[in-house]
A and B are shown apart, each in its own frame.
Chain A
Amino acid sequence: MGITIWSGLTEGAIFALVAAGFQLSLIPSGVFNFAQGAIVVGGTFLTYLWLESIGVPFVPALALNLLGGIALGALAEIISVRPLRWRATADDAGGPPVELVTTVGLSFALIGTFGLIWGYLPLRVPFFGPTGTVEFLGIRSNPVQILLVVGAIVVAVSLQLWFSRSRLGQACLAVAEDRDSAMVRGINVNRLSIGAFAAAGALGTVSAMAIGPVTFASPEVANLLAVSGFVALAVGGETSFLGSLFGGFLIGIVSALAVRYIGNAYGDISLFIVLLLTLMLRPQGIGGEAQTRTV
């Protein structure tokens, strides 16, 4: 059972990293950036480009991925979110968030672009660390899997601390709480929004250096990452990084155990049950806080 749980943990770590990217842009901007999955995939292709095609050493490749992620994130905000800020949105009329639709469109555009550039065959993304298998906690694992699990924990804890303790982080939470009030208090919400998208993009492309060696670089991974990251977010709570970390690990482990001990078809069913139970018993997510509403 140990190796099955470890397998679930490593998949869950990937979903938690994607969920953290969602949250990073969602909290300060109020926009769910569905294109985050595509940005992570863009990071896997960039990693392939630097490390495999061109042969750039790891540190410059990391810096280039960071810059690429900032650019992709900022581009996402400028193309799919900012124009909608200048006009009355369906949100204002109580309709569905229009930005979600535009980020979905951007996601498809990015996926198609990656396909045009690199094709649709899966590309093996080299891992910058050791390969092969190692013994870890009595389980044989790939070093990249260990990095993913440790990395997901470090990212979630760091972001949780930053948002709760830094001035800028608290400003982001204030915007998430009440955008108009935050503006009245002098917070530049537009700058926060583009900064948040850029930071989420950077997180996506940097984490892709560890995700790519597991998932391969392939345009069609994007939707899987986006949907799974969303489930981790919904289970964990939209403002809690630790919650979405737990959500990612939970869905990864539950799915792996269901596949191992019940049957392949039960992996997805088990996720649906976890999501349904969470929404029924704790709609704000495991790590989320209940909203008070005055009536």
Chain B
Amino acid sequence: MTSRRREFAMPTRPTGDGWAPRRRLAIGVAILAISATAIGCGGSDDSGTAAAGGQDEPFEFLCLSDTTGPAKIYGEQQELSCNAATDHVNANGGVNGHQIKLTHVSTNGDPATAVSALQKFISENGKPDLVWPGEGSSTVAAALPIIKREGILSFSGSDAGGLLVDDEYPLSFAAQATPATPTQAAAKWFSDNGVKFVGILEADIDYNQGETPFMEKALDELGIRHTVVGFDRETLDLTPQMDKLKSSGVDGIFFEGLGPPVGFSLDARAKLDWDVPWVGDLSASSLDLTTLVSSPSALKDTKLVVFRPNPASQAELPGVVAYKKAGEAHADIAKTDKVPISSPIAVWDALLLVAGAAKQANSTEAEAVAGALENLNDETATNPLLTLYGEYRYSPDHHVVVGATAEDYPVIDPGPVSGGHIQAPAD
């Protein structure tokens, strides 16, 4: 039976919590619209604390993440990352001389709760200087209109389903690129390995459905045929879908989805006695793949497209080392190292970029910092302590990372996740 199931959130990936279907996104936006109307749409003209006050005023940073709900394992990491990044920036002079004052509130994995938390913070404390509205696309999408209305600078781990790829939200940025670049990395891998016909297995969630056109375009550019088969994210078995792909003659699988269906797909490939290569997308790499298959042999000929800091070989990346060192002060950092590091570390990159842009603009005013982010100097854009990308660039109508290259997305063999990194597979 096609079935419905689970919605645990995912770590850093282009549109966030993955288990959020389109309707949830729409509900989140609707809730926000109603709440905005209810409180009487008049936005405050007040600047954030640091921007409004003198040098002694703190730079108010509101970090929203799910530390109590379905995405708790990721949300706790983000909270710790907010703390580590705050400590690091404060130790290096703060944001244009202002020390960061961090407030964390749990969203419980719910867009309505996130919006309430943001509104409550504003009504009780005034506008924060910076908001991290989380990573889930539905949560970010729900928070963006308030952030825009209040004129607050924001950074998120999601582009909220493409909302940041125009100038609609001039003060909101994502520490992510569009799916174009990671799909190019996957398509190149197929091309390099002689695959002629790729079967795209697509989950019915917003990020994956948005990712498919990019993948099709990337394959077209390399002259590789493709076909798409969808699946319900709550399925219990993907044998029918994999059998359909097998009978259509594909010689490579590109999997777009996360959680148990990853394992179902690989188990189905083994049951079909089918030895075509299988490449998982960024969302597939958000959990330890070795825990999702019924037998280690199901991982044969399997690859994952991952964020740059995820492989164990990148554990010595300067930014990763600095991040972990800063995180040691918050000892819990080690307890949540069973998911790839790209989830929490996006907050780290975001805060480094904001600090660099504020210094460049010599201001903590949201508009000034946003302007600097759109024209980052090399010192900030290529700061060696940045982790997810080698270079961050934004433009006025493109508030997702435009400087990303295929090298930022290695295609690796999946092994167990330990210390926040995907280890080499056991022999």
Q: Which residues of A contact B (CB under 8 A)?
A: 3-4, 6-8, 10-12, 14-15, 115, 119-124, 127, 131-133, 139-142, 144, 213-216, 218, 220-221, 223-224, 227-228, 231, 251-252, 255-261, 263-265, 267-268, 271
Contacts and interface: CB of A to CB of B under 8 A. Distances in A.
Nearest to B230: A264
Given A121-B73, A215-B236, A255-B1, A142 B294 contact: yes
Contacts of A115: 69-70
B8 interface: yes
Given A220-B6, A228-B1, A265-B230, A4 B72 contact: no
Contacts of A221: 5-6
Interface in B287-325: 287, 291-292, 294-295, 297
Contact of A224 (B4, B270, B291): B4
B1 A251 contact: yes
Contacts of A4: 239-240, 243
A264 B270 contact: no
B236 A220 contact: no
A268 B2 contact: yes
Contacts of B240: 4, 7-8, 256-257, 259-260
Given A15-B1, A260-B244, A131 B294 contact: yes
B272 A140 contact: yes
Given A7-B237, A11-B1, A256-B240, A267 B72 contact: no
A223 B272 contact: no
Given A14-B236, A252-B1, A216 B241 contact: no
Interface in B260-276: 260, 263, 267, 270-273
A220 B287 CA distance: 17
A220 B234 CA distance: 9
Given A124-B292, A133-B270, A260 B243 contact: yes
Contacts of A252: 1
Contacts of B337: none
A3 B4 CA distance: 22
22 contacts: A3-B239, A3-B272, A120-B6, A121-B8, A121-B287, A124-B263, A131-B294, A140-B270, A141-B271, A220-B6, A220-B70, A252-B1, A256-B1, A256-B239, A258-B2, A259-B231, A259-B240, A261-B244, A264-B2, A264-B232, A264-B241, A267-B2
Residue of B1, B260, B272 with most partner-chain A CB within 10 A: B1
A220 B5 contact: yes
A121 B260 CA distance: 10
A195 to B, nearest CB: 31
B3 interface: yes
A220 B1 contact: no
A218 B239 contact: no
A142 B267 contact: yes
B200 to A, nearest CB: 13
B41 interface: no
A147 B300 CA distance: 26
Interface of B: 1-8, 69-73, 204, 229-232, 234, 236-237, 239-241, 243-244, 259-260, 263, 267, 270-273, 287, 291-292, 294-295, 297
Contacts of B271: 3, 133, 139-142
Nearest to A215: B236
B380 to A, nearest CB: 35
A12 to B, nearest CB: 7
A265 B202 CA distance: 12
Nearest to A222: B5
B273 A120 contact: no
Given A4-B243, A12-B1, A115-B70, A264 B295 contact: no
Contacts of A214: 236-237
Nearest to B234: A224
B2 A119 contact: no
A15 to B, nearest CB: 7
Nearest to A253: B1
B2 A224 contact: no
Contacts of B71: 120
Nearest to A223: B4
A255 B2 contact: yes
Given A122-B260, A142-B267, A223-B4, 11 more contacts: A3-B272, A7-B239, A119-B73, A140-B272, A141-B271, A142-B271, A220-B7, A221-B5, A227-B4, A228-B1, A264-B2
A243 B51 CA distance: 70
A144 B259 CA distance: 20
Contacts of B244: 260-261
B279 to A, nearest CB: 20
B2 A271 contact: yes
Nearest to B109: A120
A10 B270 CA distance: 16
Nearest to A122: B260
Nearest to B271: A140
Residue of A8, A142, A224 with most partner-chain B CB within 10 A: A224
Contacts of B287: 121-122
Nearest to A115: B70
Contacts of B72: 119-120
Nearest to A255: B1
Nearest to A231: B1
Contacts of A258: 2
Given A124-B292, A132-B297, A264-B232, A218 B5 contact: yes
Nearest to B259: A122
A140 B273 contact: yes
Contacts of A251: 1
B238 to A, nearest CB: 9
A271 B292 contact: no
Contacts of A255: 1-2
Contact of A11 (B70, B237, B297): B237
Contacts of A223: 4
A132 B295 contact: yes
Contacts of A215: 236, 260
B13 to A, nearest CB: 15
Residue of B6, B272, B297 with most partner-chain A CB within 10 A: B6
B283 to A, nearest CB: 14
Contacts of A120: 6, 8, 69-73
A251 B295 CA distance: 28
Contact of A260 (B241, B292, B295): B241
B197 to A, nearest CB: 19
